[in-house]
Amino acid sequence: MRRILIAVPTFLILFLLHSYLYVPTYEEQTRGNPERLNEYIDASIGDAQILNPILSADSASSAIESKVFEGLIDRDEELNFRGRLATHWEIFEEAYFYINDEAWIPNLGKADAQGIIRLLGDAIRDRKEREDKLSKSLANIEKLEALPARTFEVSKQEKGAGGEAVPVTIRVAAPPRIRMVLKDVDQELFDHLSGLLGREYFSSFDGARFIDILPETFSSKRSAYARELLPATENNPVIVFHLRSNVRFHDGHVFDAEDVRFTYEAIMNPKNLSPRIADYEPIKAVEVLDPLTIRIVYKRLYSPALGTWGMGILPAHLLNSRALREEAKRRGMNPEKFFLRQSELSRKPVGCGPFRFREWKTDQYIVLKRFDDYWEGPPNYKGYTLRIVPDLLTQEMEFYAGTVDQYGVEPHQVERLKNDPTYQSFSGLSFGYTYIGYNMRREPFKDRRVRQALGMAIDVDKIIKYVLYEQGESITGPFVKQTDFYNHAIEPLPYDPEGALKLLAETGWEKGPEGWLEKDGKRLQFTLITNQGNNLRKAILSIAQDSWRKIGIDVRTSVLEWAVFIQERVNKLDFDALILGWSMGIEPDLYQIWHSSQTQPNQLNFVAFRNEEADDLIIKIRQEYDHDRQVQYCHNLHEIIAQEQPYTFLYVRKWTAILDRRIVIKEVDPDGTVRYSRIKPTKTGNYGFYFNKWIKLPEVPRFEVEG
């Protein structure tokens, strides 16, 4: 066959390329549509997955939810909590302990409930004579009350000898106990009271003697049941939220305390498969006191408690059991098998945030419109659009043309763009990190030495230098590097391919005749995956594959579309190793990501990290109110995770974002005077804090020209 070569003029190639990448300029857009000034357009490499804040776990969904939904609180510019749907709140504690009728109290002997009340009352009155820790705890007690003995039954299901389910009844004859109301949470209360009641007063309480179990074949569980049902002491922190009046959801329905209670119950309903369960499991009760007052009681100390109520609140009237049954019937589905995840409102959300949902076209865009009845006043922008633009080059071109309003600068572009006078730029160190995670359910990743060897074979410094263009820092563990929870004493894994081979040899992997590492006749082989639309992760994919192949590991790679990557591989735990990143908050609570109870499908410990000492520290961190002790627990946890290497921790990225200089903060004084000011980031680098006040002007405002 004869080949025919056709010469194509250079100008035609350029024309075709220009046509392929062509997007209308900002000026062309505004000439044809002046309303473009009133619409903010953002871009994401991946589409949202589900628009329900208690169900989602991806950044695109969160970007939309943060504008559609509102929480009870958030943090202000100085990182202090401020009210949103709640105007204010009180935090105090209710503490309980059972009367130990077998304990000997110093200078008193054995005492009943009334005797204990008199003893504590006298100590409270006399506390001013002392300056010790006990006196501080006594001064914190506002109310003392003796509660009478009571009886109750609890039913459970246990496994019989043959594995069958056996109903078990636990009959409890609980002794009297003391209730104390404290002004503030006091995690050391019972340690201090031991100085008054006796060192072993609480520890020697034997709840098992107040319990009967039917059938008696399960009496071996008596002590475990006693610890659960009759704990010697109980710390019950309480938050009472006072809610904002006259707040409405986007459909006009009035927001009240029932919506808060419903949101909590929806999170805790196991049928909904919420990844947020771990944050709310410490709650004992959510009580509606009146339409604008809700009381949350915790069953144990839980230091991150207040921050969890930044969660977007759901509309109970649209998603409660009655509403879901009606929706299922209307859609011809089985009401008994219809749950929150299947609701239409997961794609057409209704909240009470500053923007209301208008349209979602899968893998193309999500459109929001300004909510004019927003309680704080409507945003300046009339609309917000999130466009799905998987290719970063296309995002960049569209930003320059003005068809998107924000661009996250790639590392190689930082030096060129951060000082460009055409734009305003913002930068900082990310709250999060990028890592390679190993599925520890599978071989060869069950062995810590293999995971460590894999990390030692990768030159992270070269990734930071040549992939990130120095726009990143190495990281060794799971805490935000800018906080004191991060353990800076831990050194990164050394880049040591020979050392990696020695570790692998210890586990039985030796090079075969073809140069591949083998054991028992099988090659050391696995697949490393990541998502499309992230050039940095794709570069790391190639570097990791090349590094591991150099020491004899046969690594395959795969780059998957975002939805497939998350839904089919990560959520279903179907992977060998992956490249991913975490965006973190300020709080050091890592329960969802690292606790061994969070390893099931749709949970966040998808690498299946399990370590009893780490579990214990994670719980201590959650329950610790003393900052210095919490920091020490975090450092210890950091050390364990760094030793175990469930991840190869790569880097925390320095980010730079640019906006057109015409985007400013617009405020209107009560007298109608309009004031413009520059966009300024908060302490954490959050430059979008005042987004509701942003607006894009036809020209750069005067302060920018003079600035």
Q: What are phi and psi of 237, to 5 degrees?
A: -60, 150
DSSP state of 552: T
Domain 38-68+325-429+656-706 - what CATH class? alpha beta
The predicted pLDDT at position 10 comes to 39
Closest listed residue to residue 692, CA positions, set 431, 425, 405, 371: 371
Q: Indicate the Cα dihedral angle 398, 379, 362, 567, nearest 10°.
A: 100
**Burial grade of 700 (CB within 10 A; 0-12, 13-18, 19 or more):** middle
Q: What is the pLDDT of residues 99-133, one digit of tens each?
A: 999 999 998 899 999 999 999 999 998 876 666 88
Pairing of strands 293-298, 283-290: antiparallel
Pairing of strands 39-44, 383-388: parallel
Q: With beta carbons less than 8 A apart as the criterion, state whether 229 and 150 touch.
A: no
Residue whose pair of structure tokens reads 């304990």 in the numeric block: 103
Neighbouring CB atoms inside 10 A of 222's CB total 17
CA distances from 478 to 624, 641, 650 (A): 18, 8, 11
Q: Which helix (H) or strand (E) holds 562?
A: helix 562-563
Closest listed residue to residue 201, CA positions, set 212, 209, 211, 190: 190
Q: Is the peptide bond before 215 cis (omega within 30 degrees of 0)?
A: yes
Q: With beta carbons less than 8 A apart as the criterion, state whether 275 and 57 touch.
A: yes
Closest listed residue to residue 478, CA positions, set 491, 467, 487, 469: 487
Average pLDDT, the chain: 91
CA distances from 70 to 81, 85, 351, 584 (A): 14, 7, 7, 20
The predicted pLDDT at position 170 comes to 95
pTM of the entire predicted model: 0.80
Q: With beta carbons less than 8 A apart as the criterion, state whether 377 and 247 touch.
A: no
Q: Rounded CA gap, 387 and 461, in Å?
A: 34
The predicted pLDDT at position 148 comes to 96
Q: What are phi and psi of 259, to 5 degrees?
A: -65, -35
Q: What is the pLDDT of residues 577-629, one digit of tens each?
A: 999 999 888 889 999 999 999 999 989 999 999 999 999 999 999 999 888 99
Q: Rounded CA gap, 485 and 637, in Å?
A: 10
Pairing of strands 406-408, 150-159: unpaired
3-state helix, strand, coil in the chain (%, to 5): 35, 25, 40
Written as six digits, the tokens of 581 are: 């990143």
Strand partners, 438: 577
Domain spans of the chain, in order of start: 38-68+325-429+656-706, 91-238, 432-654
Cα 329 to chain center, whole Å? 34
**pLDDT band per the 50, 70, 90 thresholds, residue 19:** very low
Written as six digits, the tokens of 316 are: 């109970």
Question: Which of 108-112, 416-420, 434-438 is most confident?
Answer: 434-438
**Count of residues making up the chain:** 707
Q: Which amino acid is located at 189 in the chain?
A: L
Q: With beta carbons less than 8 A apart as the criterion, state whether 137 and 192 touch.
A: yes
Closest listed residue to residue 434, CA positions, set 484, 474, 489: 474
Q: Which amino acid is located at 283 in the chain?
A: I
The predicted pLDDT at position 417 comes to 84
Q: Rounded CA gap, 290 and 304, in Å?
A: 25
Neighbouring CB atoms inside 10 A of 122's CB total 11
Query: What is the mean predicted confidence (pLDDT) over 487-509?
Result: 96
The predicted pLDDT at position 31 comes to 47
Q: Rounded CA gap, 543 and 546, in Å?
A: 5
DSSP state of 564: I
Please state at what angle helix 448-456 crosses helix 497-506, rounded to 10 degrees: 160
Q: Which amino acid is located at 482 in the chain?
A: Q
The predicted pLDDT at position 15 comes to 38
Q: With beta carbons less than 8 A apart as the criterion, state whether 293 and 299 touch.
A: no
Q: Angle CA(140)–CA(142)–CA(143) in degrees, nearest 5?
A: 135
Choose the weakest-confidence range: 10-14, 81-85, 530-534. Answer: 10-14
Domain 432-654 - what CATH class? alpha beta
Q: What is the pLDDT of residues 631-654, one digit of tens each?
A: 999 999 999 999 999 999 999 999
The predicted pLDDT at position 683 comes to 80
Strand partners, 214: 169
Helix (H, G, I), strand (E, B) or coil at 290: strand
The predicted pLDDT at position 699 comes to 87
**Burial grade of 144 (CB within 10 A; 0-12, 13-18, 19 or more):** middle
Q: Rounded CA gap, 665 and 697, in Å?
A: 10
The predicted pLDDT at position 420 comes to 84
Closest listed residue to residue 559, CA positions, set 545, 571, 547, 548: 545
Q: Which helix (H) or strand (E) holds 618?
A: helix 612-623
The predicted pLDDT at position 18 comes to 41
Please state at what angle helix 113-126 crosses helix 189-197, rounded to 10 degrees: 100
Strand partners, 357: 368
The predicted pLDDT at position 129 comes to 61
Residue 29 or residue 663, greater confidence: 663
Task: Please report, in angstroms and rounded to a whole number, the separation of the first and last CA atoms in the chain.
Answer: 68
Does position 159 have pLDDT exceeding 60, yes or no? yes
Q: Rounded CA gap, 148 and 153, in Å?
A: 17
Q: What is the pLDDT of residues 518-575, one digit of tens each?
A: 999 899 999 999 998 888 999 999 999 999 999 999 999 999 998 899 999 999 999 9
Q: With beta carbons less than 8 A apart as the criterion, state whether 275 and 55 touch.
A: yes
Residue 35 or residue 230, greater confidence: 230
Q: Rounded CA gap, 48 and 57, in Å?
A: 10
